[in-house]
Structure 1
Amino acid sequence: MRLLGIVFKVIGGWRLIYMMMNKFTLLVGNDINNISPGISWSDLLTNIKEKYKVSSLENGLKPFPMLYEEIFLGAIKKQHINERELKSYISDCVSQIKQNEIHQLIREIPIENIITTNYDFSLEGQTSTRNTGLIRETTYSIFRRHESEHKTYWHIHGDCLNPSSINLGYEHYCGQLQKMRDYVVNGTNYSSETVYKDSLMKRLNQKKGTKLQSWIDLFFTQDIHIFGLSLDLVEIDLWWLLTYRARNKYYKRSSFIKNQLFYYTTKKWYSLSKDKMQLLQAHDVEIIVIDEADKTKYYKKVLAAVRKRYELSSRE
C-alpha cells in the first residue's frame, strides 16, 4: 500500500507539472542576448551602412522599421542589391550571438512553448535544422516553429536559417500583420488540409478546433510572461494583437478569454516609459516592476518570479 501511495504521488506530481507546462508560456525579446559579449544592434546598423555605402544616413529618432527601409532603398540606389543579400548579411551577424546562463535558465523552466522575437537560436542552445510549422513559410511567421529538447520555440519575426523570413522593415511588418489578422479574424485559405480554415476567434468561441497550431493561439489560451522585449510602438504586429485581444475581452465580452498577460520591466525603465506602461495596462497587461540594475540578476529575478507564481521549484 505504501508503494502504491508513492506511485500515485509521483503520478500526481507529473500530472501537476504537465498542467503547468500548458498553463503559461514565455515571450522573450532580444535584451537577454545583450548579456553576452558581441555586436549590438547599434553596431550592426553602423556596419550595414558602411558595407552598403550609405553611412551618411542618420539614425536620429527614426523608427527602426523605417530606418531599415531607408538603408535598403539607399543601398538599392547605390549598388542595386537584392534584399535577400542584405538579410543574409544580417543573419550571419546575428547567428554569431553566444548563449549565456539566462538562456539555460529559461530552458530549465518546465513549459512546452517559448515565443521569441529573436532570429538566433541561443534560446534553444543549439542551431535548429528545420522549421516544423504546419505551413512552409518562406517570408512570414504565423506557424514558424522549431522543436528542441521537448520544447517548441516560435520565432515570430523569422529566424537566421531563413534570411527572407527576418522581419525588419515596414513592408515586412505590414505583411506579417495582414497574415495575422486573417488567421485571427477572417480565417485562412491555405491549401493544406491540416490548417483550420475557420478564424481563431470563431473556433475559440465555438470551442472547436482548439488544437495549438500557431503562436497566436497562445495569446488567447495561456498566460504570457513578456520580458527582454522593449515592445516599441513600431512593433505593430504585437500591438495589434494586444489591442484585438483586449477589445474582444472587454468590448465584445468574449468569455473564452481567461488567460493573463504579464510584462516585466526594471524600476528605471518603468519610470522612463510611463506612457508605454499605461498603454500596456489599458491593453489588459499586468506590469511587474523589479528593482534590479544588474542585467543578469534582473533576469534571474524575473524567472524566479515566474516560477513562484506557479509554485515551481528552482529546478524541475
Structure 2
Amino acid sequence: MTKLSDKKIRWICRHVVDIGDWDKSQMASHYGVSVRRVEQLVKSYRDTGQFPELKKNRRPKAPPLTREEKEVIDEVWEEKRFGARLLYKELKLRGFKIPLHKIHRYMVQTGKTVPNPNKQKKRKRCRYERKHSFSLVHGDWHRTTEDHPHAIIWLDDASRFILSGSEFEHATAANSIETFKDAISCASEYNGQIRDVNTDRGAQFFNNKGGKSQFQTFLECEGIHFIPSSRNNPQTNGKLERLWLEYDRHRWRFDAMDEFIQWYNHRMHGSLWMDIGECPAEAVVRKSQPGSLLGLFWRLHQ
C-alpha cells in the first residue's frame, strides 16, 4: 500500500524546505515512512525546484486468480468455513501461496464473507485468558430461534476447547449439572481438573433471590470455585458468546451436536497459535499444567 500521494509529497516539501516548521524526522514519523525517503523527496525538490511526483505505472498489477486457485479456495472454505484471514493461513499451511487481499476480494464477490464495519474499529476492551487448560471453564445456554432446542456448552478458557455440550427441550439446572459432569469427565481424560467456572446469572446457574442454587451447591461439593458474571456484562463470558455466533452459522449443517463439537475442536482457531494452524484439540494439550502432561504421558504409555 502506498503511504504517500502527490498531495502529501507537496505538503512535505513545502513545510520542510519553504516554511521550515517541520524537520525530516517529524515528517517521517507523521506519515509512517523512513527518514531516508523524506530526504530523497526534499533533495529532489531543492535540486529541480519542482515537486516530485509518483510514477503512475511504478508497480504492475498482479494477475487475477486462476481457475485452479478459485477451486482451491472454494474447496477449503466449504470444509472449514473460515473468513479470509484464517483461510489464508489454512491455504498457506497446505502449500498454496495466494495473497490475502485476493482471497478477501474473491470471497466478497462470491458472497462467502460480508464486511463487518464493527470489526474494523479498535476494541475498547482488552482480551484476557487463563494460562493453563481447565483453570477456567465458561458455561452458557443459548437458542438459535424459538423453533430450535436449548443448547448448553462448556468451553475451556485457555484453549477454546469444548469440553461438553448438548441440546434439550428445556434449559434447567438439572441439565446444566448433567452436562457439566460430562465436562469434568472430559477434563479427567486429559489428566486435568477444573478449578473455576464462569457463567451468567441465569436461574439455571445462580440464585438471584439469595442463598445457593442447585448448581452452586453441586460445584461446592466438587470443590470448584464459581465466578458469576457481573450484571449486564456479557463480555465476561465473551469467548462463549462469540462461539454462539459460530454455532448459529454452522450447527445446522450437521446432524447432531456431537458432530458440530468435533468439527469445531479440530478447526484452526484465530486466537491460538496461528503460525502452525493450531486447533482447540491441540491447544488443550499444549496449555495443560506440566503435572497433567506428565501424568497423561505415563497413562498413554502404560
The TM-score bracket by the shorter chain reads: under 0.3
Higher relative contact order (CA 8 A, sep 6+): 1
The TM-score normalised by the length of structure 1 is 0.25
The TM-score normalised by the length of structure 2 is 0.25
User: In terms of Rg, which structure is larger?
Assistant: 2
